[in-house]
Amino acid sequence: MENLHSADKILQFDDAAKGLLEALGKKDPLMKDFVISRFKGVFFDPVAEEKTYNYMLEVSSILSAMASNPGTSIFTEFLYNGISSPLPGDSYVLESRAGRAVRSRLESVEANLFEIFEKNLQEKKNLLIGNFGSGPGRDTINVLSHHYRGRSGLKAIHIDRDRAAINRGIVMAKNRGLDDIVEFSCQSFMKYCPEEKFDIVVLVGVLCSLDFETCVNVLSTIKRTIKSGGLIIASNATPAMKDGDPFAYFLMNWLANWKLEFKNIKIMKKIFEKSGYAWQGSFTEKFGFHLMGIGVSV
């Protein structure tokens, strides 16, 4: 077996990963060796794997949430909110490039939503916004509470099949004084039939693990809920995430069997067009790990 402590191997890890490996090594050098060897795809010991797996969940609320349900908004909410007393696994996730990119995606989505809302409000008095797979709906709730509280004409409906996420959103909206312009519906957005069609639909953090054809199926199905000429903003992880933070992607795979279908701008454009939307453009967060496509329903 190769010498896994060699400096040249360790140097391939970024500071966040080095911090985690150091913490593992302090607890038990075997756990550090296991993670390095598993990441490198060389021999690893299943006894060390069991011990390390259990320990990783013990030292991270974030990784525990991810391992029990990779698509849960509990995971993303931890990334947005941070953790007051983080254990080593949590510190790693919060400091990792992949973790910071998710936080950056929220900022970027909020800034762009505000711009899009403003542009649309120049042409229309009323805007009906649908947030599909909203989790608690932090992005739309933040934009509405920062810019539109007390202003009539905007309404957002959040649709998520996770009752706990919906309940969390209801509390969030109430605490920001938005009860009158924010609604929630606990169901699958694939079956959702709105009374009135949406001007803008937001779909963030939902498509990443779905293949090309499933994404086309999702976007085509959603189309019936959007007004002709209405917009959809949908996100996906890009290949830059896998290249820019391979260690985080390795941990997602190992701990949660979570595999992503990375899509570049060309693939996203094809998905939009095949689903009946005219491609309007896109934006990314500052790491380029997440791309948000914008399409017009035609």
Ligand X SMILES: C[S@@+](CC[C@H](N)C(=O)[O-])C[C@H]1O[C@@H](n2cnc3c(N)ncnc32)[C@H](O)[C@@H]1O
Please select the residue that binds ligand X; options are 18, 161, 227, 270, rule is CB under 6 A. 161
Tell me how far, at minimum, the Cβ of 273 lies from ligand X, in Å: 22
* From 35-43, 167-175, 177-185, 188-196, span contacting ligand X (CB under 6 A): 188-196
Residue 285 near ligand X by CB under 6 A: no
In the complex with ligand X, which residue's Cβ is closer, 190 or 298?
190
In the complex with ligand X, which residue's Cβ is closer, 134 or 297?
134
Tell me how far, at minimum, the Cβ of 165 lies from ligand X, in Å: 5
In the complex with ligand X, which residue's Cβ is closer, 32 or 105?
105
Chain positions 127 to 156 lying near ligand X, rule: CB under 6 A, are 133-135, 138-139
Residue 111 near ligand X by CB under 6 A: no
**Rounded to whole angstroms, how far apart are CA atoms 157 and 267?**
29
SS3 labels along the chain: CCCCCCHHHHCCCCHHHHHHHHHHHHHCHHHHHHHHHHHHCCCCCHHHHHHHHHHHHHCCHHHHHHHHCCCCHHHHHHHHHCCCCCCHHHHHHHHCHHHHHHHHHHHHHHHHHHHHHHHHHHHCCCEEEEEECCCCCHHHHHHHHHHCCCCCCEEEEEEECCHHHHHHHHHHHHHCCCCCCEEEEECCCCCCCCCCCEEEEEECCCCCCCCHHHHHHHHHHHHCCEEEEEEEEEEEECHHHHHHCHHHHHHHHHHHCCCCCCCCHHHHHHHHHHCCEEEEEEEECCCCCEEEEEEEEC
Residue 190 near ligand X by CB under 6 A: yes
Please select the residue that binds ligand X; options are 205, 230, 293, 295, rule is CB under 6 A. 205
Tell me how far, at minimum, the Cβ of 208 lies from ligand X, in Å: 8
Please count the residues of this chain forming the interface with ligand X, following the rule CB under 6 A: 19
Q: How far apart are the first and last CA of the chain?
A: 59
In the complex with ligand X, which residue's Cβ is closer, 16 or 218?
218
Please select the residue that binds ligand X; options are 24, 59, 206, 231, rule is CB under 6 A. 206
Query: Mask of contacts with ligand X, 47-86, x by CB under 6 A?
Result: ------------------------x-x--x----------
Tokens encoding 149? 């509280």
* From 46-54, 88-96, 182-190, 258-266, span contacting ligand X (CB under 6 A): 182-190
Binding site for ligand X (CB under 6 A): 71, 73, 76, 133-135, 138-139, 159-162, 165, 188-190, 204-206
